[in-house]
Amino acid sequence: MAGFLDVPLLIEPPQRLGELLGCLDVLEDRRGCGFGKTCETCPLKLAVRKTSETGQPCLQVEADLILRQTGIRREARVSISTALVRLDDEPKVLVCLEDITRRKLLEEQLRQAQKMEAVGLLAGGIAHDFNNLLGVMRGNAELVLMAADQFPQDLKHDLEQIVSATERAASLARQLLAFGRKQVLQARPFSLNDVIVNLAKMLQRIIGENIHLQCVYASDPPFIHGDIGMIEQVLVNLVVNARDAMPRGGKIRLTTDRVCLEADPIQGHPEAQAGEFVRLSVSDTGTGIPPEVLPRIFEPFFTTKAQDKGTGLGLSMVYGIIRQHQGWIEVTNQPGAGARFDILLPGMPAPVLSADASKTKATIPRGTERILLVEDDFSVAEVTRRLLETFGYRVWKAESAHEALEIWHEHASEVDLLLTDILMPGNLTGRELAERLRQENPRLKIVFMSGYSAGVGGSDLDLAAEMGACFLPKPCDSRIILETIRRCLDNHTSSVL
């Protein structure tokens, strides 16, 4: 508040205080300070009155004031201090006002960040245990499916539905890990049309019956290379925001199309580049975005929703995910008539599965090598052991790194591959176990696995790359487990899935 806040004021008469500050109640009432609708409860007036009548100072009383200065209306959080002084032998009230609006905003953002960090840690822990449970369900279902020729077709279909459900649940777990910042991109080629088709029913349930969801798909859009779970998160966030802009109902339209850009950059989007892109558009018939709010919509913690309705993180997460996918967002806004978010992501040709690849996929690799399996979750260890033994491998199973060392001391010369979880109970991790065993046998092959992602281990996974090790995220397709182990046994190239 240039000129009035952060400086002491000597007010005479006290009724001028409201005019000097630009109090909105005073400016809207011709009678001046003291006659507005909130004047009787004005903390500033009460503080001045207390000091004037009792001589007692008021120190750092916090209050919210609605002011208008230089034609701009704003809400200010102020700290009020008053003291009785004498000037020319006349008692005066000294008023010190400090504008603490920005400080309070920063404090609130810090509290919010700490809260989100705590929630993120909780989400990461839940996702880790959830992934182990999914691994058990998926692994057992796939083991039965491998002998599905002996069962009726209906039972085979039921088992396939179980596997499909665990895949969707694993995608939710990846989103939890992403929320807890324990997830890196699990990028692969996919069609944006397929993502929308798979989410459409869930989105309709989220937005409610009074909002119509319309999906318009490009006939043959390019594929994109990215993390399906993260793109799903983007879509859900944008649709929820559109729903909230239409409290009385309306229409949300999702469209995909192919866009070819020339070399000239798009105004306001320096990250834009020439090439072929897939555009995802999310538009609504809601209230639109106020022009003064539009420049700040992607700021973390900025929200126009009620305090208990939004965190201010939805659009900032959307922005971060799209930038991580080498894309950008364009916003078209019509206040009172709705808004449209256009997301542009680099396109790529659809992957072609060769005839040889199809034949290879039909054959699950087998082996006769000896594997030391280290997994602290009994059910996960058991289903993994059964899978490996079903395909010819000999397995020693340990529930801790210390138990694995005991087995190693008896069978060191026989072990061909170490398959270990990264995070283990006790004071010896999977990484440290792998280091010890590799020192004794430099030719030992190593595969790490974790219910987190390839990025959670940080230095663990950096070391894995240096050791020529492979990485398996949990839960994982049984075929991928077997293919990764076979590939690791056959060569020294590291791999992170």
| Spatial distance between the Cα atoms of 301 and 322, rounded to a whole number of angstroms | 18
Token couple for 90: 């006349």
Please check the confidence at residue 175 and state whether its pLDDT lies above 80: no
Query: CA gyration radius for the chain?
Result: 31
Q: Which domain holds residue 342?
A: 192-349
Distance CA 313, CA 316 (A): 5
332 has a pLDDT exceeding 50: yes
Our measurement of the distance from residue 371's CA atom to the centroid of its chain's CA atoms, rounded to an integer in Å, reads 37
**Residue 250 in this model has a pLDDT that exceeds 60:** yes
- Domain final residue, candidates 40, 66, 99: 99
In order, the DSSP letters of 277-318 are EEEEEEEESS----TTTGGGTTSTT---S-TTT--S-HHHHH
Which has the higher per-residue pLDDT, 412 or 10? 412
Q: How many C-beta neighbours within 10 Å does residue 28 have?
A: 10
Q: Do residues 216 and 345 share a domain?
A: yes
* More confident site: 113 or 132: 132
Residue 316 in domain: yes
Domain check: are 267 and 367 in the same one?
A: no
What's the pLDDT score for residue 336?
Answer: 82
Mean pLDDT throughout 443-448? Answer: 92
What DSSP designation does 268 have? T
% of the chain with per-residue pLDDT over 70 = 74
How many angstroms separate the CA atoms of 195 and 173, rounded? 17
- Average pLDDT, integer, range 261-277: 68
Residue 82 lies in a domain: yes
Residues 14-49 have pLDDT tens digits of 445 665 665 655 555 566 566 666 677 778 878 888
Least confident of 80-94, 225-239, 240-254, 307-321: 307-321
Give the percent of the chain with pLDDT over 90.
Answer: 24
Across-strand partners of 495? 470
Question: What pLDDT sits at residue 96?
Answer: 84
Question: DSSP string of 348-363?
Answer: EPPP---HHHHHHHHS
Q: Do 266 and 373 have their domain in common?
A: no
101-145 and 153-179 are packed helices; what angle lies between their axes, rounded to 10 degrees? 160
In angstroms, the CA 296 to CA 151 distance is 59
* Same domain (yes/no): 308, 380: no
The mean pLDDT of 151-169, rounded to a whole number, is 81
Amino acid at residue number 443:
R
- Position 351 scores a pLDDT of 76
One-letter amino acid for residue 404 of the chain: A
Q: Residue 396 sits in a domain of what CATH number?
A: 3.40.50.2300
Angle value at C-alpha 281, between 276 and 282, nearest 5 degrees? 160
* Confidence category of residue 343, pLDDT binned at 50, 70, 90: very high
366 has pLDDT over 60:
yes
pLDDT average, residue stretch 324-345: 88
DSSP H or E run through 484: helix 478-490
The pLDDT, as a whole number, for residue 419 is: 96
The residues with which 377 forms a beta bridge, in sequence order, are: none
Highest mean pLDDT among 172-186, 424-438, 443-457: 424-438
Give the pLDDT of residue 256: 94
Report the distance separating Cα 437 and Cα 445, nearest Å: 10
Residues 6+ apart with CB under 8 A from 414: 370
Confidence of residue 367 (pLDDT cuts 50, 70, 90): very high
Based on the fold, state whether residues 231 and 343 are members of the same structural domain. Answer: yes
Residues 326 and 204 in one domain: yes
Amino acid 280: pLDDT? 94
The answer on pLDDT for 400 being more than 60 is: yes
**CB of 68 within 8 A of CB of 24?**
yes
Where does the pLDDT of residue 306 fall: very low under 50, low under 70, confident under 90, or very high at 90 and above? low
How far is residue 260's CA from residue 327's CA, in Å, rounded to a whole number? 14
Most confident stretch, 144-153, 192-201, 295-304, 313-322: 192-201
- Among 38-42, 45-49, 253-257, 339-343, the minimum mean pLDDT is found in 38-42
In the listed set 99, 132, 149, which residue is the last one of a domain according to the structure?
99
| pTM, entire model | 0.55
Structure-token pair, residue 159: 């088992």
pLDDT score of 301 more than 80: no
Q: Is 115 helix (H, G, I), strand (E, B) or coil?
A: helix
Q: Which amino acid would we find at residue 359?
A: K
Q: Hey, CA dihedral for 109, 110, 115, 118, is it positive or negative?
A: positive
- In a domain, residue 118? The reply is no
Average pLDDT over residues 469-487: 87
Least confident of 23-32, 141-150, 377-386: 23-32
pLDDT at 273: 76
Has residue 2 got a pLDDT over 60?
no
Beta strand 90-99 with 188-190: parallel, antiparallel or unpaired? unpaired
- pLDDT at position 98 is 81
What H or E segment, with its residue span, contains residue 276?
strand 275-284
Above 60 in pLDDT, residue 453? no
* In the predicted structure, residue 207 carries a pLDDT above the cut 70: yes
- At 474 the pLDDT is 81
Query: Are residues 385 and 320 located together in one domain of the fold?
Result: no
Do 374 and 341 belong together in one domain? no
pLDDT level of residue 333 (50, 70, 90 thresholds) = confident
Number of separate domains in the chain: 3
Angle between helices 228-244 and 314-324 (to 10 degrees): 150
| Joined tokens for residue 199 | 């989410």
Handedness of CA 220, 223, 229, 233 (dihedral sign): negative
Res 446: pLDDT: 94
Angstrom distances, CA of residue 69 to CA of 29, 42, 107, 297: 16, 19, 25, 25
Is it the case that residue 288 has pLDDT exceeding 80? Answer: yes
Residue 368 maps to a domain: yes
Helix, strand, or coil (residue 488): helix
C-alpha angle with apex 72: 67 to 73, nearest 5 degrees? 40
Both tokens of residue 366? 């087998």
Handedness of CA 191, 193, 196, 198 (dihedral sign): negative
Q: Quick check: is 145 in a domain?
A: no
Q: Lowest mean pLDDT of 178-187, 200-209, 271-280, 397-406, name the range.
A: 178-187
Say which DSSP state 221 is in: P
Cα(223)–Cα(349) distance, integer angstroms: 6
Tell whether 115 is covered by a domain: no
Angle made by CA atoms 38, 71, 245, in degrees to the nearest 5: 75
pLDDT score recorded for residue 1: 36
Domain edge (last residue) among 296, 319, 349:
349
The interaxial angle of helices 101-145 and 378-390, nearest 10 deg, is 40
CB 394 within 8 A of CB 369: yes
Q: What is the pLDDT of residue 370?
A: 95
Q: What is the residue-averaged pLDDT of the chain?
A: 78
pLDDT of residue 472: 85
pLDDT at 145 over 70: yes
The identity of residue 315, as a single letter, is L
Q: Are residues 205 and 295 in the same domain?
A: yes
Residue 237, pLDDT score? 87
Q: What is the arithmetic mean of pLDDT over 282-297?
A: 85
12 pLDDT band (50/70/90 cuts)? very low
CB–CB of 424/432 below 8 Å?
no
Establish if 136 belongs to a structural domain: no
368 with 485, same domain?
yes
Question: What are the start-end ranges of the E strands in 319-437?
Answer: 328-334, 338-348, 370-374, 394-398, 417-421
User: How confident is the model at residue 279, as a pLDDT?
Assistant: 93
* 334 and 441 inside one domain: no
The CATH code of the domain that includes 306 is: 3.30.565.10
378 and 344 within one domain: no
438 in a structural domain = yes
10 pLDDT above the threshold of 50: no
Query: Alpha-carbon distance 370 to 393, whole Å?
Result: 6
Question: What is the rounded distance in angstroms from the CA atom of residue 27 to the CA atom of residue 44?
Answer: 16
